[in-house]
Amino acid sequence: MTVALDQQAADALRAEVRSWLAQHWDRKLDPGAWRAQVVDAGWASPSWPEAWYGRGSARALSGIVAEEFARVGAPGGGLDSISSQLPIELHIAGNTILAFGRDSLKRELLRPILLGELRGCLLYSEPGAGSDLAALQTRAERDGDEWVVNGQKIWTTAGHLADFGVLIARTDWDQPKHRGISYFVLPMRQVGVEVRPIRQMTGDAFFNEVFLTDARIPADHLLGDLNDGWRVLQTALAHERLVMGSATGPVRDPRRLPVGARLDLFELARRTGRSTDPVVRQSLADLYARRQVIGWNAARAKAASAGGTSSPAASLGKLAMSRVLHESAALASALLGPAGTLYGPGAPDALEANVSSMMAFMNSIGGGSDQIQRNILSERILGLAKDPATDRDVPFRDVPKAPARRAFGAAAAP
């Protein structure tokens, strides 16, 4: 009965989307005007409540909206389905603001996010608080109708482009480290925020250091309750891991097995004369199967998140995707043989394989490293005991820690 009801809802939604597109879609429309129509009609984020630019439909049905928009070549539909579009702004920040933000903040940010007018970044990791994120020392102190923030963040993706950042900062040093943290939305384009690029081995600079010196945050930019930021963060991380665990999604076309932006492993095996090699064929089949299972796992985790809970299945998908990305790049290099050692525009296949190999480490580190995901899976899925922690119930000011790096005159940690 449940399957029939779900199918009935899916069919009804598909018919509604098609009817709306038939009435409104015109390729000659200004892209900005079209995007506004889509957002205001609730098709950009159909799983969100109607009061906040959605249609209140089941999140599992958002993919139908995306499919129907893609069928006619119309952009912007079903962005809240798992896709590469607006991964930070929409999937992570948008969903977290929707769940924990005050109405004033939702009115300020949600529509511009859906319109693609705002870029976001994640201000989580610090030089002394990466894998142990709860050891963060960036501090936020109340000053009238604002919060004043001092500290340093690192590995901030797209921080140089961001209009806002979702920030975790310590607001009570007398509570244990997991309970004295608050979660904020920080305006990035202000005096007191300095962004410095970190050069990667690919030559790009997607990541940044961010120095905060008396940066200001409006009081209503606090998400959730004061000192309850760790709970908010878990929701945000679940969304991030869900995106990273399905970044390439299941293989839609069984004739393709993509690695990187331009390279396809099936096609590469044929071009290099290795498509009949049983070892290569087994590797291709294994990667294809893993990609399919990851897609199903993402749907499972997404269904759990739609019910208002985070699922360790997101960690499972993220960990599996890390392995797939590394193994896909390695297989591409193996198929190319000695030519796979080349790096430059004159050898586009080798360049793509090598860049993909290096970029795979982003998935292994961002959103919690592979090692962190294994801890989560061992504790929350397998039920194994947690590692002993001597600082769990100790006021954070009494926990031994590395000295906080002072950001341009900012007050040192107490």
For residue 268, what pLDDT is reported? 93
Residue located via tokens 């985790």: 301
- Alpha carbon 318 to its chain's center: 10
Which candidate in 50, 240, 327, 352 is catalytic? 240
> What's the whole-number mean pLDDT along residues 36-51?
94
Average pLDDT of every residue of the chain: 86
- Lowest-confidence region among 109-113, 187-191, 231-235: 231-235
Percent of the chain residues past pLDDT 70, beyond the cut: 87
Dump pLDDT digits (tens) for 91-109: 889 999 999 999 999 999 9
| H or E segment and range at residue 65 | helix 62-72
> What's the whole-number mean pLDDT along residues 365-380?
83
Residue located via tokens 């004159």: 346
Q: Which amino acid type is present at position 105? A: L
Confidence of residue 2 (pLDDT cuts 50, 70, 90): very low
Give dist(CA 116, CA 122) in Å, integer: 17
Confidence of residue 85 (pLDDT cuts 50, 70, 90): low
Using alpha carbons, select from 196, 39, 190, 214 the residue that is nearest to residue 140.
Answer: 214
> What's the whole-number mean pLDDT along residues 65-84?
84
For residue 393, what pLDDT is reported? 86
CATH of segment(s) 245-380: 1.20.140.10
Residue located via tokens 């009115």: 107
CA angle (52 as vertex; 51, 54 as ends), nearest 5: 95
Q: Which amino acid type is present at position 361? A: F
Confidence of residue 368 (pLDDT cuts 50, 70, 90): confident
Say which residue, 269 or 389, is predicted with more confidence: 269
List residues bridging with 212 in a β-sheet. Answer: 151, 193
Confidence of residue 1 (pLDDT cuts 50, 70, 90): very low
Confidence of residue 62 (pLDDT cuts 50, 70, 90): confident
For residue 322, what pLDDT is reported? 87
Say which residue, 164 or 306, is predicted with more confidence: 164
Dump pLDDT digits (tens) for 128-163: 887 788 999 999 999 999 999 999 999 898 899 999
Check pLDDT > 80 for residue 404: no
Q: Which two tokens stand for residue 223?
A: 């998400």
Separate counts of helices (H) and strands (E) for the chain: 11, 10
Percent of the chain residues past pLDDT 90, beyond the cut: 52
Does the reported pTM lie above 0.75?
Answer: yes
Checking DSSP bridges between strand 222-223 and strand 258-259, what pairing results, if any?
Answer: unpaired
Check pLDDT > 70 for residue 114: yes
Q: DSSP class of residue 120?
A: E
Query: Can you give the residue ranges of every domain in the chain?
Result: 8-114, 120-228, 245-380
Residue located via tokens 């962005």: 79
Say which residue, 72 or 82, is predicted with more confidence: 72
Q: Which amino acid type is present at position 143? A: D
Nearby residues of 77 by Cβ (< 8 Å), 6 or more positions away: 17, 38, 43, 44, 65, 66, 68, 69, 70
Give dist(CA 49, CA 65) in Å, integer: 16
Q: What is the CA radius of gyration of the chain?
A: 23
Three-state SS letters, 314-342: HHHHHHHHHHHHHHHHHHHHHHHHHHHHC
Dump pLDDT digits (tens) for 240-283: 766 665 554 444 555 566 676 678 899 999 999 999 999 999 99
CATH of segment(s) 120-228: 2.40.110.10
> What's the whole-number mean pLDDT along residues 110-125?
94
Dump pLDDT digits (tens) for 287-341: 999 888 887 777 776 666 655 556 677 788 888 888 988 999 999 999 999 999 9
Cβ–Cβ < 8 Å for 239, 226: no
Report domain 8-114's class.
mainly alpha
> What's the whole-number mean pLDDT along residues 176-194?
96
By CB neighbour count within 10 A (0-12 exposed, 13-18 middle, 19+ buried), where does 139 fall? buried
Check pLDDT > 60 for residue 52: yes
- Lowest-confidence region among 47-51, 66-70, 262-266: 262-266
Give dist(CA 339, CA 183) in Å, integer: 48
Catalytic residue status for 240: yes
